[in-house]
Each structure stands twice: as C-alpha cells, then as structure tokens.
Amino acid sequence: MKISGLEKFSMVDFGEKICATVFTPSCNFACPFCHNGDLALNKNIALISEKDVLEYLSQRKNLLDAVVISGGEPTLQADLPSFLTEIKKLGYVIKLDTNGSNPYVLKKLVHDGLVDFVAMDIKNSLTAYPVTVGKPDADLDAVKKSVDFLLSDAVDYEFRTTLVAEFHDEKNIKETANWLKGAKIIYLQQFVEKDTCICAGLHPVPVKTAMHYAEILNRTIKTVKLRGY
C-alpha cells in the first residue's frame, strides 16, 4: 500500500486513545482549504515502506492503543484491506478518516471488521458540495450513501465540518442540519490557514458565528461540538 507519512505518537487524533497515524497519498477531492495540499494532490510525495510501518506498529503494540488511517483519501488504496488486516493481527483498534466518496469500500471494511471507528468529513450542504470540494462533477450520491450507512449505526462514527468563511453560511448550515437529521455527533472544526493549503487567502469562521451554526445543527443532531476554537 502507498504510505506517505507516519505520525508515530498522537493523543489528539482518536479521542483519548494513544495512537499512531498513517497517511496515504492522493485524494479524489481538491478542497481549497485542505491543509494537506501536496498529499491530496500527490505532489512531491516520498513514500514510506509498508513493511517499516508494520514493524514499528509491532514494536509499539504494548504502548499504543490504536491506529488512525488518514490521507489524502485512504479508500482509494486498493491494498487498504490487506494492510488493515495486518494491523488488526497486532491487536489495534482502527479509526478511518474518509471523505465518504467510496461507500462500498467503507461498508466492506466495516462489515469485515477492519474498521472500528469512522470519521467522515461533511464538506458542506449538498448544494454547495461541488464548489467546496473543488470538483464540479463530485459524486454526491456516493457521499449520501456513506452518510446513510453511518446513520444506520453499523459502526461508531463522527461527522466533522471544517468551517471556512468563503464556503459556509447560515443557509448551508441549515441545509446540512436537515440532511444529517438524527446524526449522533458532528464537530465544527476551526480552519487554520497553512502554507500547505491548496488555496491561499481563505479565512476561518469567527467563534460567535461557529456557535450560532452549532445551535442550528443542534436542532436535528444530538451532539454538536466545536473543535479548535
């Protein structure tokens, strides 16, 4: 499997679990605010040996609780199931970060017991999705199928939206609240501009506005939390 990065120790990527985070290259979206721009666009990426990553995880299995698979978009990797199988053999809990664009892959990973927790990015309301993900032809049906699957409680999950002033407004938030009705939890994340973002000059949503958006979402979603504010 193609691996482009390994964060060997983290206490913030998976709740209170001590974890390692594995990053995969390439993404089928091009969100302007993505802070892993080179990773998503697969530009100037040096790869890490899968064998080396598995050896590290084997050596640390008594010190780490979990492994997070992030990207890029991990479900684009054809070898992802076999890689996760090897991690499971080591006894780890696995969290998958995904944009939800490959619902059939997502379902199979869950049904095969290879993923214990899913964090799915909700980029925006469906009407604003194409511009927000930088893809006019974005497959919204695929995204909706992934959302419906997670809403079925087949696996523990969270939704998360990175708020960007240029892309998110009250209308979009209200549409998102209607779309995700009955969801267990969503995090509203503060956007932080970095040199690695795909596009420069974007701005975070102010905390007061984010709190207002949280109130709107809380009408239909059980738990709404701010992250990074």
Q: Which of 103, 6, 118 is nearest to 55 (CA)?
A: 6
Rounded Cα distance between 175 and 122, Å, is: 12
The answer, yes or no, to whether residue 44 has pLDDT greater than 90, is no
Q: What is the pLDDT of residues 95-135, one digit of tens each?
A: 999 999 999 999 999 999 999 999 999 999 999 999 999 99
**Inter-axis angle of helices 207-217 and 170-179, to 10 degrees?**
30
Using DSSP's 3-state secondary structure scheme, residue 178 falls into helix
Average pLDDT score over residue span 74-96: 97
- Angle made by CA atoms 132, 137, 139, in degrees to the nearest 5: 85
Q: What is the mean pLDDT of the chain?
A: 96
What is this structure's pTM? 0.96
**Tokens 């992030």 -> residue:** 70
Q: Determine what percent of the chain is predicted with pLDDT higher than 90.
A: 88
pLDDT exceeds 90 at position 42: no
**Closest CA relative to residue 77, chosen from 158, 150, 23:** 23
Residue 57: the pLDDT is 97
Q: Kindly write down the DSSP assignment for every residue of 25-91, as one continuous string.
A: ---S---TT-S-HHHHHT-SPPPB-HHHHHHHHHHTTTT--EEEEESS-GGG-TTHHHHHHHHHHTT
Q: What is the pLDDT of residue 179?
A: 98
* pLDDT category of residue 196 using cuts at 50, 70 and 90: confident
Helix, coil or strand: residue 207 = helix
**CA separation, residue 158 to residues 43, 48, 57, 125, 153 (Å):** 29, 28, 25, 17, 11
Q: What does the pLDDT read at residue 12?
A: 87
Confidence of residue 37 (pLDDT cuts 50, 70, 90): confident
Q: Is 21 helix (H, G, I), strand (E, B) or coil?
A: strand
User: What per-residue confidence (pLDDT) applies to 34?
Assistant: 93
User: What per-residue confidence (pLDDT) applies to 185?
Assistant: 98
